[in-house]
Chains A and B, each alone.
Chain A
Amino acid sequence: MSISLSRCVRTAGLVGAFMMTPYLGIHAGVVSAETIKAQLAFAPNVPPPIKRTEPATVLVNLTADEWLGPLSDDNNYEFWGFNKHTPGPMIRVMLGDTVEIRMKNDKNSKESHNIDFHAITGPGGGASLLNSEPGQESGGKFKMIIPGIFMYHCATASPSIPEHVANGMYGTIVVEPAGGLKPVDREYQITQSEFYTKEGAEKGETMEFSYEAGLDERPSHVVYNGHKTSLVKNPLKAKAGETVRIFFTNVGPNFVDSFQLLEKPFDRVYTEGSLAAPPAQNVKMTKVPTGGAVMVEFKVDKAGTYTLVDPVGNRKDLGAMGLLKVE
């Protein structure tokens, strides 16, 4: 049923991600040996855990967009991103799935865009097959042969690969191992990224990208989920006694991140995003390589406000902080 619907939609030429999005919710988690649509979720939310036990073909529709949006309460920035969000939507699939990706570049884009999936085995992580000029669409089919938490990002060489990442073109794909992840009470995603802007922008002005600041590794913003106060104004939520899982992706483009919960150690840390090895236990802080990820889990025993932070240097002041409210 879901297959034929998707066929009809495609035949009708309504394949753009905007049209697909409403359907994604309907078909998510449907058990099928054949073809299903990915349910995409925007940070800090995550798609639901995989309930299937058999691999499937999972359809993922992404658009590349360029838009003006708030980077902080004071300034806008011209974001480049996927599905008009920075970070782009999280994708959740299973080991052995074949992921069918369609990438449409919005007709109003100035740049060509592509996607390098760290979860894809093959040249460029799929980037050469998923390259789209403005107004064009491309696609590819890729088998997920390694489980883990992986970054995806644009890797177009013009004007430069780091510029596409610095402007917000990234997201996370989780490839669950066979048998799935152990269920927990709450799941969230956090993406830490730096923004490099030219100095001197007044309050209310749109900030401009600075290639030089990128080369010098002097960011103006180091943020969680694409905005300086995203997880301060809208804290994550949990109830006392619950176990919280966070998929944390460090997209850089430059910094190696340190991820810390100030009030208590993480109970379990899946170092460098590896789900194949047993986790480290009782970890006060974990380092996450650039272009890497980590999965952490912890039980919140007491009510209160917990703080997630990159404690290095002045990164917290630049935005690398989030709150978790436990009732």
Chain B
Amino acid sequence: MPKSFLHNMRHAGFISALVMASCFAITAGVVSAETIQAQLLKAPKAPAPITRTQPATVVVNLEASEWVGLISDDNRMEFWGINGMVPAPMIRVMVGDTVEVNFKNKNDSKESHNLDFGKATDGAALVSAEPGKETKLTFKATKQGLFIYQSSTAAPSNIQHLLSGMYGLILVEPVGGLKPVQVEYYVMQSEFYLKDGKKNDTLPFSIDRVKAADASYIVHNGHMTALVKVPLRSRVGETTRWFYGNAGVNFESSWHVIGEMLDRVWPGGDVSKPPLESIQSTLVGTGEATIGEFKGEMPGTYVSVDHSLFRTEKGALGLLKIDGTTDPSLFRGL
């Protein structure tokens, strides 16, 4: 049923991300031995955990587009992204799934765009589309773990594609899924290199600043204050799991949550190995992603940062508000 519904929609030409998003919510998580729709949400939302035990064909509809948007409250830049989002929506599948990517490049795009899913499979998995075109990529998710998918189009440069916002995370869960937790979030650290300008200017991309590793912004989820204005939420006693990616291209991120310890960390998103435990700060390499989780013990507002602290001045932070009851045996003033 969902399959045919989607077919109809596609034929009707209603494939834009906005229209799809509302349909995905309806079909998300539907158990089927055959074909299901990927739930594609805007960060910090992560798609729902997989409850299937049998592999399926997962249809992922992605559209590349280019738009001018706010990078901070003061300035705009030209983003290149997927489904109107930076970072691109997180994709969640299970090892053994067949992933069917329908990749469309919007009519008014200036550039050709592509996406590389090679980390999640054996061999190449690249899908490209010229402006106004649509192509399909089918690959088998053979490697479990959390990976970055990204644009690597050569013109004008793959660096510019990456630094304009064309990246997201794909999670390939082991059979049986990850251990359930109460709350899950998707956070991506990314760098933007722009020429200087005045307030309200739209700032152009600067390859010179990239080469000098002189980032204008280093942000969590595509805007300097995305996770400050709208904090993440959880409650005391709940375990919060973070899918934390680092799009790069220059800076390794030392992810730390002020006032909390990461109870468990899977470095590099490698869920086939046992996690590190009780970690204050964990290294997330450029082009890598990690899974970290912790139980909230005390209510309050917590700050997630790249502990390379000058980067917090450029936006590398976000807030998590934990609600609940205070435990004075754990934490109190004199």
Are A and B co-members of a single complex?
Answer: yes
Contact of B283 among A120, A253, A287 (CB under 8 A): A287
Q: In the complex, are the beta carbons of A147 and B313 less than 8 A apart?
A: no
Q: In the complex, are the beta carbons of A272 and B309 less than 8 A apart?
A: no
Q: Which residue on chain B has the smallest CB distance to residue A215? A: B310
Q: In the complex, are the beta carbons of A122 and B300 less than 8 A apart?
A: yes
Determine whether A200 belongs to the interface, using a CB cutoff of 8 Å to chain B. Answer: no
Q: Which residue on chain B has the smallest CB distance to residue A290? A: B254
Interface size on B, residues (CB 8 A): 43
Say what secondary structure dominates the interface of chain A: mixed
A273: chain B residues at CB < 8 Å are 279-280
Once the chains are docked, how many angstroms separate the CA of A150 from the CA of B278?
Answer: 10
Contact of B334 among A139, A155, A160 (CB under 8 A): A139
Contact of A140 among B265, B274, B283, B333 (CB under 8 A): B333
Q: In the complex, are the beta carbons of B278 and A276 less than 8 A apart?
A: yes
Q: Which residue on chain B has the smallest CB distance to residue A144? A: B330
A100: chain B residues at CB < 8 Å are 334
Interface size on A, residues (CB 8 A): 54
B329: chain A residues at CB < 8 Å are 98, 143
Contact of B309 among A98, A162, A274, A293 (CB under 8 A): A162
User: Interface digits, B286-300 against A, CB 8 Å rule (1 contact, 0 not)?
Assistant: 000000000001111
Q: Which residue on chain A has the smallest CB distance to residue B274? A: A277
B298: chain A residues at CB < 8 Å are 121-123
Determine whether A252 belongs to the interface, using a CB cutoff of 8 Å to chain B. Answer: yes
Q: Give A314 Cβ to nearest chain B Cβ, in Å.
A: 15
Contact of B331 among A140, A150, A290 (CB under 8 A): A140
6 A-B pairs within 8 Å (CB atoms) are namely: A122-B297, A123-B331, A141-B334, A146-B261, A148-B280, A254-B310
Using a CB–CB cutoff of 8 Å, the interface residues on chain A facing chain B are 98, 100, 102, 116, 118-127, 129, 138-143, 145-148, 150-151, 155, 160-162, 165, 214-217, 252-256, 271-277, 287, 289-293
Using a CB–CB cutoff of 8 Å, the interface residues on chain B facing chain A are 213-214, 252, 254-256, 258-261, 263, 265, 274, 276-283, 297-303, 306-314, 329-334
Given A146-B263, A155-B258, A273-B280, output 6 extra A-B contacts at Cβ < 8 Å.
A143-B329, A151-B280, A252-B254, A253-B310, A290-B281, A290-B308
